[in-house]
Amino acid sequence: MIAMNSNFYLVGSARIRFFTGMMMYFAQGIPDGLLAIAMPAWLAAQGADAGDIGSYLAVIYLPWAFKLIVGPLMDRYQFPAMGRRRAWVLAAQLGLTFSLLTLITIDHPMNQFGLLMVCGVLVNIFAATQDVAVDSMAIELVPAAEQGRLNASMSFGKAIGWAASSAASGIILVTWGLGVAAAVAACCSALIFLGCLRIRESEGDRLLPWSEGGPGSLPAIDNSYSRLFGGLRALLWSRISLVVIAIMFLDGLVGGYGSALTPLAAINLFGFSTPEWSNLVATMGLLGAVVALGLGPLIDRFGAKSMQSFIILVVAAHTFLLAGTQHYWQDTLYVRVMMSIWVLLGPISMVCIIALAMAICSPQVSATQFTIYMSIGNLGASLGSEAYGRVADKTSFVQNFTLMGFMGLVTLIVVLFYRRHEYPSGDVVVPEPN
């Protein structure tokens, strides 16, 4: 039974902030590992073609692209007695748990492809909503000097989540089917929900809506729509904001294209089985998470721009190298190393890209502003997956890896225009609307 006198407060402890961010992003990784990593490989092994998988990924990613709808609602409607964002976090996590159970209704995924996508969209609606709430909570409660380490902790948690989920799901899907995989994922999500109940934003906040107390020690803010959209308009049209929007879209485009390309290449070209691919993703995802965790202090010291530029350069070089060494594709060790590097770079890049966006967000409109940036990235991912599905039948794997490398170089060029010093204090003041 959960203790009602819990003393876990986000405002009072950096360790609790880091742990909470890690735990909540772990929860987001659970459906990601099942739906976006293990499922495409499993579907490919059952005969799904590139168009099917590209469309599937594009559709289930859509809630992440349109989560910008949720941001203004979170900034406008709050339940201060439980903290500004905590009620949203709990509701979204509970919804994520129950939505995962809808996958149990699917007996034959290849014959119920439409239903599979509908369930995937429902799951990601709640996962994306939880993400918005957690990110906005982080922007409000975490000092600027901790943001690099917090982003590393969150990315570490998400990487562990999707790595563990993809490894377990790959085995469960082949052995027992989607129903069991969904039930296991839902149970893990429920455990995280129970853990969330013990963590409050500040002392004095209510633990539950019907508990005594609240609101806590955080100051009240004007969250009217007029102030929200008046200030947001000025922020979004600034030069640095437009650069971030372009970076997020291009980075998402590369990631989405790769998400559709790599499982098909692994299964149909390189000879992986579904469990082998899921296990490789899990192993390298965990290693990437460890590297990403160590990257946080480096971001705080050298800046997200420098680290992101380096990572993008490595990603582009890797894809060009893979495209140019087709004669080695029959070498099992070589392709395993190259595919491992691709997976490894995912969580590392995620830390940097989140830091770039979070660094220019205003605490007053954090849910809306940061959500817009992340939604643009997720829209890019959805379009990238759909784009691969449309060109796969007309292009070779060599051409697709080469194209992905060029997309990476374009992203690198745009990153060079990022100028963080436009907001030297890290605190953007939202102007009063006219």
Give Dmax (Cα) for the chain: 68
Of the ranges 140-144, 237-241, 367-371, 389-393, the best mean pLDDT one: 389-393
SS3 299: helix
Block residue for tokens 């739906």: 35
Q: Which residues contact 214 (CB under 8 A, 6 or more apart)?
A: 80, 81, 82, 83, 204, 205, 206
Q: What is the pLDDT of residue 365?
A: 67
Name the residue ranges covered by the structural domains of the chain. 8-421
**What is the sign of the dihedral through the CA atoms of 234, 240, 243 and 244?**
negative
Element containing residue 8 per DSSP (H, E)? strand 8-9
DSSP-derived secondary structure for 69-112: GHHHHHHH---GGG-TTHHHHHHHHHHHHHHHGGGGG-S-TTT-
> How far apart are alpha carbons 270 and 277 in whole angstroms?
10
Q: Which residues contact 292 (CB under 8 A, 6 or more apart)?
A: 152, 155, 156, 159, 347, 348, 350, 351
- Neighbouring C-beta atoms of residue 199, cutoff 10 Å: 22
SS3 9: strand
> How far apart are alpha carbons 255 and 385 in whole angstroms?
8
> How far apart are alpha carbons 216 and 206 in whole angstroms?
8
Give pLDDT tens digits for 310-365: 889 999 999 999 999 999 998 889 999 999 998 888 878 877 888 788 777 776 66
Of the candidate ranges 121-125, 276-280, 306-310, 357-361, the one whose mean pLDDT is the lowest: 357-361
Whether the per-residue pLDDT at 117 is higher than 60: the answer is yes
The residue count for the chain: 434
Whether the per-residue pLDDT at 431 is higher than 70: the answer is no
pLDDT over 90 percentage in the chain: 32
Whether the per-residue pLDDT at 434 is higher than 60: the answer is no
Note the pTM of the prediction, 2 decimals. Answer: 0.72
> How far apart are alpha carbons 170 and 154 in whole angstroms?
24
Of the candidate ranges 216-220, 225-229, 387-391, 427-431, the one whose mean pLDDT is the lowest: 427-431
- Tokens at 15, concatenated: 């360790």
> How far apart are alpha carbons 317 and 402 in whole angstroms?
10
SS3 248: helix
Query: Which homologous superfamily does the CATH classification assign to the domain defined by 8-421?
Result: MFS general substrate transporter like domains (1.20.1250.20)
Beta bridge partners of 200: 9
Q: What is the pLDDT of residue 2?
A: 39
The pair phi, psi for residue 212, each rounded to 5°, is -80, 155
* Cβ(152)–Cβ(307) below 8 Å: no
CA dihedral 325, 326, 331, 333 (to 10 degrees): 50
* Cβ(418)–Cβ(240) below 8 Å: yes
- Tokens at 139, concatenated: 């922007």
Q: What is the pLDDT of residue 76?
A: 77
Q: Is the peptide bond before 275 cis (omega within 30 degrees of 0)?
A: no
Beta bridge partners of 199: 8
**What is the sign of the dihedral through the CA atoms of 302, 305, 307 and 309?**
negative
SS3 427: coil
Question: What's the angle, vertex CA 132, arms to CA 93 and CA 417, rounded to 5?
Answer: 150
- 209 vs 414, higher pLDDT: 414
pLDDT over 70 percentage in the chain: 88
The pair phi, psi for residue 8, each rounded to 5°, is -90, 105
